[in-house]
Structure 1
Amino acid sequence: MLNTPGYQAHGNQAETLLATSLAKTDSTSFAPTSRRSTSTLLSCATHSMVPLRFRRMNRPGVRQAWQEKFIICMLIFGACAGAIFYIIIFGKLLCPQFDKAWNPNELAGHAAENDYWIAVRGNVYYMTKFRKGSHSDIPSAPSSQDVMTELWGQDLREHFPIPLTLGCPGLVPDPTMALGAANSSNIAVPTAMYAFGALPSVTTSKLAAQDWYTAQFLPTMELECFYKGTLDENVYDLSDYFYTIDQNPNQSKFEFLSSTVTDLFKHALAKMSPDDGAKLYQCMKNLFYVGKTDFHKTAKCQFSGILLLCLLGCYPGQLTGELSPEAMDKRRIGSLAALKYDDKRKLLFLICDGNIIGSGNDRPIPRIALDILGVDPALDPEPPRFKNGKGQLNYGRVCSGLYEFEGHVVP
């Protein structure tokens, strides 16, 4: 360790004081202090948590110091664990479906070779592996990756119409009835559109089965290789229904929902018979369900983030009118020197890295530390050079002495 001339006298003084202190008794005395009741309760509660190794130390001061260090570490660990729990888990407990619901824009972002997702009637499906295989039983219309690429990241509800006799049992008796598409632009690949029952041109395909959607499509989507989630409280789209009525005037068979649709949207379901209400609800759920209302911006899902922003906003307010960096450092060093432990068992070890001026400092950090410790400003010996990793050249100084603060003398 290098002693500068200005510190030599302090070094001798330190040896004299330490020698005098060591010549006295080795016992440790504590000044009476008034502690808050919370501190007392905390000490009592955490005493049993302190390792037995610390409690068996002979000197009360050392034992207390280690116990307090251990408790402080536990408090820091608990605070960090609490912060991690709040940031990662708390929000998911309040809004467990937050990451499992996508809106159309988010769905469109999952359109890549290794991230292939589609949506069908309010559910999203992971199709990356499925699209690579051949799943067409029509020789003249094989499935290809080029065609499948045109469908990724889209809502394919229009491509998979449900037979009305299956979707609305008790309301539609004709198996040949089908709804038209009000918005044909939603059909990205017309050849990929499912035609059921007597409608498909190739009757030998499994697609010709009236129950293909429920017997083949839905079970396939429920396989383990597919991951399903909710797409967007329930949203129904009746555009195709009204479009079909407009395209088939004077044909009452297409008005299978009749005026009960208006009554339903006016919350007059109670006026219907239970049987009619159940049939109507089942029909709308099967045919016209689109998804759920977007809940991402509800208070429940935004609470944790808003609270975190409020806490972060309060933090800068605590720094308003705060002391200068030098005053803050002086207060920290002074608080360490004034700790209620025997001065002969204290040692301040300060490391000052860098000579950059800025961030509210008009002097380098090492110079600020020396001024706080009371070193003569005119004392500025040449720092020795030393080698540090990969041949880098650095300069540094090691200074020693005594720091006096409120009657405490600490090396």
Structure 2
Amino acid sequence: MHRVAINFDECEEGCVFPLIDDEKMHARVLLCSAKKKQVWPRELSSLAKFKYLRILDFNGFNFDLTILPDGIAAAVHLRYLSFRDCVLAELPSSIGNLRFLIILDLRVQYSTKMIIPNVLWKMRNLKHLYFPLLFETSDAGKIRLDGLTELETITNFNTWMFNVGDLLKMPKLQFLAANVAGNLEDIESIIKCMTMNSNVETSLEIRDFDCYTEERHSVFRKVLACQPLRVLCMEGHLCRMPMHYKFSQNLTKIIFIGSELIEDPMRTLEKLPKLRVLVLDDAFVGKETVCSSSGFLELKILELLNLHTLEKWTVEDGAMPKLSTLVLANCRRLEMLPEGLQFVRGLQELDVSRMSKDFQKRIRNVDPEMGRDTHKVQHVPSIVLDDK
């Protein structure tokens, strides 16, 4: 027996798993899945006998309700260890013994805050490292990643829990998802990482970074120009954007929050050739925006949120030919849906919330005089109108 898969959801409470020591010794793969409250079986309370495991996968367990089996560190030949979608408050420090580990997935349930021991630097064969959204160390210090020269993937890297300089010591890095809390030096270090290694596909979230000075705005422009950049979430005052040809042409997703742009951002963003998702949240202080006929050729999702001064939106025939989802929320001065939406034939979902009552009536009312916008979206299968 080289592979053992246990679906705890299909097991009666108190059921046993009669694995003899020889079977445990020869097992190479152990997959454990549970979505309901389950009691971990007594005969698996220790995994010390599974000495030659290569893959150990826990999926969906709540380790606040049941025990985390001990002896995981005895499986020194482990290549893959995952706690995906689990509830796990603390990772055991003995995990540092897994020197041959290649993949470590700590993406526990999003509401779970995990304590991570500062031992990951010992796993020098790691190639793929997935951190949880919320975590800290037992000593409140930063997590060491120096020496992980084989790393190819790292997610949920944030600058308050790691030294950004460690990224510059990862020559094989191919994917980086990072969060930065408005520190100029940290952003410049990530720019340096992307500049040194053009193969690093980067997803970057920058929070609390107001660009009121030329120095800070120039750093923002450097970020935009990095060709490895695929996803950018930017929170903070920008006022203006550079021309489209100064953006990374590989950007697939952009989120601007609180940008206070004074010029129509659509004129620039619609020219990005690979852009598929665009979210503008309190990002534009003008009255009118236009999506031109040749713009947003790949865009699939568009969200216009909290644009408090927007009064008119024009969509020309031929714009956004692949748009499938449109979200409008709290743009209370917007007078009506653009006429050109009727030509966006692939639109599948329209979600409208916290808009003016007149705006809602133009869509909702079947009376031709009152529902003057119904013809614009009558081809859309799913329309959600929330009056709140």
- TM-score after normalising by structure 1: 0.20
- TM-score after normalising by structure 2: 0.21
Larger radius of gyration: 1
Larger RCO (CA under 8 A, 6+ residues apart): 1
Query: Which structure is higher in strand share?
Result: 2
Query: Which structure is higher in helix share?
Result: 1
